[in-house]
Amino acid sequence: MKIRRISEFQYRFSFPDIDQDLQIYRSAFMSSDLCKLYQAIPWSSLIQIFGLKKAKKGPSSIFSPQAKIALMFLKHYACCSDRKLLE
């Protein structure tokens, strides 16, 4: 299954005050166990090992190489399937 950006289906986060709300979300994330896991993972090494690159041809992917790997960790962390993770 290939994920592509489709604007009409793309969910948008609404931040009334982007600077303040983003800082609140960021500080909550920084104090979570998920952040500790995120900081412990050698992202650039994994990207090289798996040979992931940004798509140069065809439709652009909505996920960066790091995000693709992060979604696999998140799927396991949240104990859900691919479909449930996308929901």
CA gap 73, 41 in Å, rounded? 10
Beta-carbon count within 10 A of 27 CB: 10
CA gap 6, 27 in Å, rounded? 30
The pLDDT assigned to 49 comes to 94
pLDDT digits (tens, 9 = 90+) for 4-60: 655 555 556 565 676 777 888 888 889 988 899 899 999 999 999 999 988 777 787
In the chain, count H helices and then E strands: 5, 0
* Domain ranges, ordered by start, for the chain: 18-51+61-86
